[in-house]
C-alpha cells in the first residue's frame, strides 16, 4: 500500500514546493505579465532611468501587463505598482493609473512609460503620472514590486488626474472598488 501512494505523495510534495507554477482559478479576475511568471525577476531594462539617481540603472521599459475575467459590471480598472521595501521600508508607489477601459485587455511593453489617453495618471511617490521602474539601493536584497489591478464602477474619466494612493483609496471606498488581482515581480542589485 505504501508503494502505491509514493507517486501520489511525490506529486503532492512537488505541488506544495512550487506554488508559483500552479494554475490560478480559471474564472478569477487575474492580472498577469505575459513575459514574466508571477514572482520572477524583472530584467535590468525595466529598471528606472533617472540620470541624477545612481540607483536607476535601466531603460525604464514598462513590462507588458494583461488581465482576464474582468467581473461583470466593471466600468474601469485602476492599476498600482508598489515597492514595500523601497525607501528603507516606507515604500514607494512607482505607478498609479485609473480610468482604464477593461476592454483594452492590457498594455504592451513600454506602453505606460509616458502619459497616455488609455489611462488617467495618478501621482506616484516620484510625482509622476506614468510608470517609473525600480531604482533600489544596492545590497538591499530583493524588492517585491506588487502590481495590483482593481475593478471599479467608475466610468473612464470620472476621476481627476493626479490622485495619490491614499486619495485613490478614499475614492474606491464605499464599494467603488469591486475586486482586485495582484502579481509580484522582483528586482534587486548586488
Q: What is the mean pLDDT of residues 121-146?
A: 97
> Strands, DSSP E only, in 55-114?
65-68, 76-83, 92-100, 106-107
Round to whole Å and give the CA distance between 92 and 96: 11
pLDDT digits 0-9 by tens, 161-183: 999 999 999 999 999 999 999 99
What grid cell was written down for 90?
A: 516606507
Cα separation of 105 and 32, whole Å?
11
Look at residue 58 and tell me whether its pLDDT is greater than 50: yes
The percentage of residues in the chain with a pLDDT greater than 70, rounded to a whole number, is 87
Strand ranges of the sheet holding 106-107, from the earlier edge strand across to the other edge: 30-32, 65-68, 106-107
**Residue 161: is it exposed, middle or buried by C-beta count within 10 angstroms (0-12/13-18/19+)?**
middle
Transcribe 132-166 into DSSP letters. Answer: ----PPTTS--EEEEEEEEEESSPTT-SPTT--HH
- Tens digit of each residue's pLDDT (9 = 90 or more) over 10-35: 334 334 444 444 455 789 999 999 99
Torsional class of 136: left (φ above 0), alpha (ψ -120 to 50), beta (otherwise): beta
Measured between alpha carbons, how far is 90 from 112 in angstroms, rounded to an integer? 25
Protein fold of 27-187: Phosphatidylethanolamine-binding Protein (3.90.280)
Q: What percent of the chain has pLDDT over 90?
A: 85
More confident residue, 80 or 5: 80
Asked whether the predicted pLDDT for residue 146 surpasses 90, the reply is yes
**Higher pLDDT among residues 24 and 69, named by residue:** 69
pLDDT score at 24: 58
pLDDT score of 6:
45
Is pLDDT above 70 for 113?
yes
Sign, Cα dihedral of 109, 188, 164, 28:
positive
pTM: 0.86
Mean pLDDT of 135-149: 96
Mean pLDDT across 27-47? 96
Res 158 pLDDT > 70: yes
* Chain Cα centroid distance, residue 180: 11
Task: Say which residue, 122 or 24, is predicted with more confidence.
Answer: 122
Q: Once rounded to an integer, what is the mean pLDDT over residues 107-131? A: 97
Amino acid at each position: 500500500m505504501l508503494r502505491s501512494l509514493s507517486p501520489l505523495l511525490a506529486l503532492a510534495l512537488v505541488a506544495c514546493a512550487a506554488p508559483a507554477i500552479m494554475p490560478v482559478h480559471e474564472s478569477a479576475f487575474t492580472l498577469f505579465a505575459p513575459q514574466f511568471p508571477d514572482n520572477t525577476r524583472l530584467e535590468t531594462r525595466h529598471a528606472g532611468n533617472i540620470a541624477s539617481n545612481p540607483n536607476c540603472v535601466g531603460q525604464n521599459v514598462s513590462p507588458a501587463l494583461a488581465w482576464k475575467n474582468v467581473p461583470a459590471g466593471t466600468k474601469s480598472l485602476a492599476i498600482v505598482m508598489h515597492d514595500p521595501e523601497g525607501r528603507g521600508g516606507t515604500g514607494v508607489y512607482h505607478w498609479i493609473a485609473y480610468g482604464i477601459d477593461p476592454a483594452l485587455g492590457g498594455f504592451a511593453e513600454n506602453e505606460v512609460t509616458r502619459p497616455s489617453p488609455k489611462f488617467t495618471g495618478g501621482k506616484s511617490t516620484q510625482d509622476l503620472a506614468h510608470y517609473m521602474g525600480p531604482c533600489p539601493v544596492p545590497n538591499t536584497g530583493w524588492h517585491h514590486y506588487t502590481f495590483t489591478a482593481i475593478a471599479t464602477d467608475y466610468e473612464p474619466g470620472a476621476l481627476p488626474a493626479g490622485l495619490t494612493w491614499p486619495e485613490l483609496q478614499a475614492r474606491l471606498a464605499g464599494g467603488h472598488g469591486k475586486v482586485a488581482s495582484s502579481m509580484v515581480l522582483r528586482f534587486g542589485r548586488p
